[in-house]
Chains A and B, each alone.
Chain A
Amino acid sequence: MKVEPFVTADGRTIGDVMMEMRNITLRFGGVVAIKDISFDIREGEIRAIIGPNGAGKSSMLNVISGFYHPQEGEVWYHGARRPSMRPYQVARQGIARTFQNIALFDGMSVLDNIMTGRLNHMSSSFLDQAIWWGKAQREEVEHRAKAEEIIDFLEIQAIRKTPVGRLPYGLKKRVELARALVAEPKLLLLDEPMAGMNVEEKEDMSRFILDVNDEFGTTIALIEHDMGVVMDLSDRVVVMDYGKKIGDGTPDEVRGNQEVIDAYLGVSHD
């Protein structure tokens, strides 16, 4: 689908529609998690999904990442309808994610955790890697270079060799972001990247998200509860409540939407 590209206030170009959710409905038995929702994600934008607890945000992210399969509706990706896929197939299409509850390998070092993010880019066979010869060796050097680039980008050089289990929460979140980034995704899904962080950690994380979008041109869809962060970071916001979409637009539009205010933001007193 072709749409007019537009330029945001800070000078970034938002391009064509990259992913489109058409009339998605997701049910778990009798519970309707997502009810007939449609929205799109455009190339190069930061798209936020907000809503109160249980609104279906994480379910939506799981639909995008192929973990859940909606009973109704279609997912369109790069102008083509996406058939029902396994999460690893989705990942190969250039979609990477982080998790609300950190899902790292605690006993492995930061570097090893990040290297796992390169899995989809590895083509040498299991045997090649076991005997460590030729292609496997060349590949590892290449992947390590990419991992180091991300380590430098996220400023986690000092913990490169530290086992993840020993890191504080804020850094684990950053390592998770690193693992997602090293896969060189076109679309990055962040599930509450700032949950449980203090103000300083939030500021750091916001800066990293903006830098990722700016430096690598990665399209980002994120779920976040901190309204200040959402309004500052995102170009467009989808608001969900009880599985329904109640708002969609720029942060300013959403902020002014009466339904959204009632459901979520609370009454403004000024």
Chain B
Amino acid sequence: MAQIVAGSAAPKTVPALLARNAAQFGSKPAYREKEFGIWQSWSWSETAAEIEAIAIGLMALGAKKGDHIAVIGRNRPALYWSMVAAMKIGAVPVPLYQDAVAEEMAYVLEHSGARFAICGDQEQVDKVIEVQETVHQIEHILYLDARGLRKYDHTKMHAMADVKAEGRAAHDRFEKELAAREASLKYDDTCVMLYTSGTTGKPKGVVLSNRNVIETAKNSSEFDDLRPSDEILAYLPMAWVGDFIFSIGQAFWTGFCVNCPESADTMMTDLREIGPTYYFAPPRVFETQLTNVMIRMEDSGRFKKWLFDRYMAHAKRVGPDILDGKPVSAGDRLKYWIGDKLIYGPLKNTLGFSRVRVGYTAGEAIGPEIFDFYRSLGINLKQLYGQTEATVFITAQPDGEVRADTVGVPSPGVEIKIHDNGEIFYRSPGTFVEYYKNPESTADTKDPEGWVATGDAGFFEEGTGHLRIIDRAKDVGQMADGSLFAPKYVENKLKFYPDILEAVVFGNGRNRCTAFINIDLTAVGNWAERNNIAYASYQELAGHPRVLDTIQAHVEAVNASVAEDPMLSGCQIHRFLILHKELDADDGEMTRTRKVRRKIIEEKFSELIGALYDGSDEIYTETEVTYEDGRKGKITATLQIRDAAVTVDTAHTRVAAE
């Protein structure tokens, strides 16, 4: 494989990278997508031709320099190409979360001023049409999948196939202008605009320049030694900065291949078929996979189960050390090798991780057991810490220095400083340009010297120089007695139990902590099945006394673990309840990236919180829910409230007594 051009000769825009790849890697696959049961692939030169056709097609429709072009749909090559085509003609691609409901989409479409919307299918087209009733600047809708759209008014609607055909036909007419527009693109021109999901308030449009994207892609690719022969599976939302950097930034910089699954449901099969070498997943995905493995092992035969347990125990002991290159005795290595042939290898193959060379998880804290499970199998799973405003990378774990409780050392080119209140600030080549049409927020977040507030509180660990994150800075509060309140810290500990899907801890300014719990229907449901507990719904299972007993045991174990840290021992949970519904983004309780919206939950369930503090044993409640199609309904429930034993913090009491 040819070496990547470095230094000043390196291409300065994403379209320029495309031209380089088409010349350098011509016939090597750039994008694959499974369709009609077969992996279809496009080489870099074919990709360049497709992108040019879309670009000219868009120009023929009247797309101007500086226009915003919304892209909405699941991960498909044609949508990635549309984004690059938009860049090529000097427009700015704005990918949107495909599962957002129309009213959420309306804000972003209006704020970005998009004149074009490129949609994956009828579902997205319908939402855009609904938005058009209030947002009038959207002129043209393009779509990939024509199904169900035949009868729609096509005066301002176009099938992508037609746009491409028109682009090819109009090649000679627009060739010069396209070349001129592409040549006029500069390093500091906007490359993409990504809306943050916003744990509070309205989403903000983060403007990233070509410099941000290319510098970050370059640094991070070199950090992990990414190669043109690498393969990734693009399955995370296209609107998320991580997907943009992996599937466009790093893919274009390094020239590796991006594989798009057949549909959301086939992700696991496609993962196994592709066997990516570079893989990213939020902790939740790893958790789900581990839960599934464990459930299936519970159902397996006695001998298999024994073999699995025996070798997994060995892997847990020596696996991570072997991965980190630490000294391990020859006998243990031999046993690990046998285990690899019998258990680890086949298991990795089933999970689709046989070829993973670099794996990342980020976004939330990952449970140490989960993290160690994958590492002990020999999967190089690491953690990184980042955000949209930093073009992802702030810190990452180098090979050989991987731990569950840190997020690594500053990424290449990133400077970090920590404020007196614990908040983390960074400055890097990936630091965003601005929030679109929002100078106040930009000024609030980024100071004139370029330092950006992350909103997270953390500290550098002495000795290793690794960063540890405690919580969101604004969520870190004080209990009534002045001790530290860090809800996320406790919630993460709770969520490490497979039975617990979500937890929300309250206690800021109060004398004791309490919690809402969401059970994990897969794990608890399986447990119920094995124990002959009948249930008809999530709500019924969540209210079952034995489920409450199990969760209570988990809460008490967490309390004991929290008590070990004198700084945070005040955060032990005194009372808890299991919510009657799963927290859901459709109800506004979580963001689309599944982060808990604390304020909204506090307001919505205020009576439940009241009950947690007034000593009552149960509470009757009515809650409004939103179905997937936008309709609303109501569920009612009587919830049990349980007291959990707290561990007395010896150090703390001793100080108090003296």
Contacts and interface: CB of A to CB of B under 8 A. Distances in A.
B262 A214 contact: no
A214 B37 CA distance: 24
A207 B629 CA distance: 14
B265 interface: yes
Contacts of B184: none
A12 B148 CA distance: 13
A215 B151 contact: no
B151 A214 contact: yes
A140 B265 CA distance: 26
A211 B263 contact: no
A152 B150 contact: no
B151 A160 contact: no
Contact of B265 (A153, A157, A214): A157
A119 interface: no
Interface in B134-155: 147-148, 150-151
Nearest to B627: A200
Closest 7 CB pairs of A and B: A158-B265, A148-B36, A148-B37, A158-B266, A157-B262, A11-B151, A157-B266
Contact of A157 (B37, B148, B151): B37
Nearest to B150: A214
A207 B122 CA distance: 12
Given A10-B151, A158-B262, 13 more contacts: A11-B151, A144-B37, A145-B36, A151-B36, A152-B36, A153-B147, A157-B37, A157-B262, A157-B265, A157-B266, A158-B269, A214-B150, A215-B150
B78 to A, nearest CB: 15
Contacts of B147: 153, 211, 215
Contacts of B151: 10-12, 214
Contacts of A214: 148, 150-151
A149 interface: yes
B37 A151 contact: yes
Given A145-B36, A148-B37, A152-B36, A157 B150 contact: no
A157 B74 CA distance: 15
A226 interface: no
Contacts of B629: 203
A155 B36 contact: no
B35 interface: yes
A162 to B, nearest CB: 10
Nearest to B629: A203
Nearest to B628: A200
Contacts, number: 36
A155 B150 contact: no
| Majority secondary structure, A binding face | helix
Contacts of B37: 144, 148, 151, 157, 160
A155 B263 contact: yes
Interface in B614-658: 629
- Give the interface centre of A11, A145, A157, A203 by most chain B CB atoms within 10 Å: A157
24 contacts: A10-B151, A11-B151, A12-B151, A145-B36, A148-B36, A148-B37, A149-B36, A151-B36, A151-B37, A152-B36, A153-B147, A155-B263, A157-B37, A157-B265, A158-B265, A158-B269, A160-B37, A203-B629, A207-B148, A211-B147, A211-B148, A214-B148, A215-B147, A215-B148
Nearest to B267: A158
Interface string B271-304: 0000000000000000000000000000000000
Interface of A: 10-12, 144-145, 148-149, 151-153, 155, 157-158, 160, 203, 207, 211, 214-215
Contacts of B150: 214-215
Contacts of B269: 158
B266 A152 contact: no
Contacts of A211: 147-148
Interface in B143-190: 147-148, 150-151
A210 B106 CA distance: 28
Contacts of B36: 145, 148-149, 151-152
A203 B35 CA distance: 25
Contacts of B262: 157-158
Nearest to A145: B36
Nearest to B151: A11
Interface in B445-487: none
Interface in B238-270: 262-263, 265-266, 269
A158 B268 CA distance: 9
Interface in B21-38: 35-38
Nearest to A160: B37
Contacts of A148: 36-38
Nearest to A12: B151
Nearest to A152: B36
Nearest to B37: A148
B579 to A, nearest CB: 22
A23 to B, nearest CB: 37
A44 to B, nearest CB: 13
Contacts of B265: 157-158
Contacts of B38: 148
Nearest to A161: B269
Nearest to A146: B36
A8 B210 CA distance: 52
Nearest to B148: A211
Contacts of A160: 37
A37 to B, nearest CB: 33
A214 B629 CA distance: 22
A158 B263 contact: yes
Contacts of A10: 151
Interface in B491-545: none
Contacts of B148: 207, 211, 214-215
A184 to B, nearest CB: 16
Nearest to B152: A11
Contacts of A157: 37, 262-263, 265-266
A11 B36 CA distance: 30
A158 B148 CA distance: 21
A11 B152 CA distance: 10
Nearest to B262: A157
A211 B148 CA distance: 6
A145 B263 CA distance: 18
A262 to B, nearest CB: 33
Nearest to B269: A158
| Residue of A151, A158, A215 with highest tally of chain B CB at under 10 A | A158
A267 to B, nearest CB: 28
B558 to A, nearest CB: 36
A144 B151 CA distance: 29
Contacts of B266: 157-158
